[in-house]
A = this chain, B = another copy of it.
């Protein structure tokens, strides 16, 4: 598929999924690139984020036959917004399309702080929503203390890789991660800073985690739900804390509620704390987060882990691959030819 410069392409959902979604549920729709109205700027998009929560939105929140929402980075190519100039780099949420009209400070759109030596794509990965999720969960929800041990589920994914990078900077003790393949498990311990890792296909999460963390855990960042949540609860020590950020393993069963763990009453007997985290409640921490992380990105102490698919035409393919767990680090799509 190719598109002329004067054509905007939007991805639209055309039907609701039953179980695992397919490419046939989406259409690429062409229309003329719009002119910016007064107070808006026209952005040509360069990077797109595809995320587990999009799967949840497909069941009801995404309107059919309409543009979708998604975290995106682009460059202003025409502006009638006094807050944005041509050439500015902008983060916004009008994703899944080649162009968008945005207004600085509205609906999450903001000019990004550009940092020498930091790749642009980092603004959608370690400096983006997944990184901020990890930062909020570690510093606000768990209040991780130096030396404390941490379990991370879906550890090779966007939030999981960011969690390991940030937890190390905070002085975490033992880091244990779970993932869905032997290759990912090797990558977790070989490259991503985990002390131990396991493939959750190899048995019960509770038992695998007990082997990987025989002395128990102070904290957990839960990203999967179901057996992973039960396994974390079983292996937390007394007064352990769990930050619950998502249920990527449950999004394909929207017709039935996510399985609740059988050992839930351990919350009482072990005096555990379980707390939900929604990153959308913490935009005010973005600057603090960047001030904390950017020096480490520049020095090379941390890496913005990402799997990047090239070409907007492949955004649906990238999304489905992310749902199948094909990415290590954040799954991103890059405009063809963009560095």
Contact = CB atoms under 8 A, between A and B. Distances in A.
Interface stretch (A41-49, A81-89, A171-179, A243-251): A243-251
Contact of A275 (B258, B266, B271): B271
Given A250-B265, A257-B262, A260-B260, A273 B273 contact: yes
Interface stretch (A26-34, A111-119, A276-284): A276-284
Contacts of A246: 268
A224 B176 CA distance: 34
Contacts of A260: 260-262, 264
Nearest to A244: B268
Nearest to A243: B268
A245 B257 contact: no
Nearest to A56: B269
A268 to B, nearest CB: 4
A244 B267 contact: yes
Contact of A258 (B257, B265, B276, B278): B265
B267 A271 contact: no
A197 interface: no
B268 A276 contact: yes
Q: How many copies does the complex hold?
A: 2
Interface in A52-75: none
A39 to B, nearest CB: 31
Interface of A: 225, 244-247, 250, 257-258, 260-278, 281
24 contacts: A225-B265, A244-B268, A245-B268, A247-B268, A257-B264, A258-B264, A264-B264, A266-B276, A267-B276, A268-B276, A268-B278, A269-B276, A269-B278, A270-B276, A271-B275, A271-B276, A271-B278, A271-B281, A272-B275, A272-B276, A273-B273, A273-B275, A274-B274, A274-B275
Given A244-B267, A244-B268, A272-B275, 17 more contacts: A225-B265, A246-B268, A247-B268, A257-B263, A257-B264, A258-B264, A260-B262, A260-B264, A267-B274, A267-B276, A268-B276, A269-B276, A269-B278, A271-B275, A271-B278, A273-B273, A273-B275
